[in-house]
A and B are shown apart, each in its own frame.
Chain A
Amino acid sequence: MKLQRRALLRSLLTAAAVLAVPRWLFAARPDKAFDEKNAGAVVSDLFDGPITESDQVTLKVPDIAENGAVVPVTVSTELTDVESISVLVENNPTPLVAMFELSPQSVPEISVRMKMGESSIVRTVVKAGGKFYSASKEVKVTIGGCGG
């Protein structure tokens, strides 16, 4: 009886340790928005407020991407209190590419490389001081990056 209790206790503690680690390391990912197939749906899932086009948001992408498998994107902003930076490729099968959550320590500039299946509008949405700001640009893709 005593042995069984000990074994149970040990397995409970192990389970707790396994569960506790990822919770502590990672905040919640907006899984639904990442699965959405429509850019409009991504926007309504993620951003609960009006989005303003802003020249204080700088989106750096190439005009023409020869290889859609690797398209560099850099987003920076002069806005303060930046909470997050998201990147969407409107014509991709799942438009939401990435969402970066920043801290007060962060410099509001991020870069990443993304896949583009075809030519598309690339949009970034910056959340700053509880409000949403965006910039967008069309990227022409010569060879798509989603197929084999």
Chain B
Amino acid sequence: MGNPIKIKAKLKGDVAEVKALMPHPMESGVRVDTDTGEPIPKHYIQEVVCKHNGNVVTTAFWGTGVSKDPYMAFAFKGAKAGDKLEIHWRDNTGDSSVSEVELK
């Protein structure tokens, strides 16, 4: 299981503004270990799925060009206090993480 996702969500009327931080190395596969001279294998998040009360509102597909410890922000309509927001990621090694918050 990967590191937990830090989610900050703010309701403005019926719009939920979401910021998420996902601690992850996001290794692109082009870096070289300076001690061994060996290339550092790719290790990066490929998919992020954001769900509002179980319905997908945004899916992000990522390449190796997303920065280490990825940050993303997005917003969606039709939200109210008490609703659930869930964010999942999965990386190229098959590892994954899920976090959930209640909107307020």
Contacts and interface: CB of A to CB of B under 8 A. Distances in A.
Say what secondary structure dominates the interface of chain B. strand
Contacts of B58: 100-103, 106, 110
A101 B57 CA distance: 8
Contact of A29 (B47, B56, B76, B77): B47
Interface of B: 15, 28, 30-32, 34, 46-47, 49, 52, 55-68, 70-78, 88, 90
Interface string A106-138: 110111111110000000000000000000000
Interface of A: 22, 25-27, 29-30, 34, 69-71, 74, 89, 92-103, 105-107, 109-116, 145-148
Nearest to B47: A26
Nearest to B26: A115
A114 B66 contact: yes
B31 A148 contact: yes
Contact of A109 (B32, B46, B61, B75): B75
B61 A110 contact: no
Contacts of A99: 60-61
A109 B63 CA distance: 19
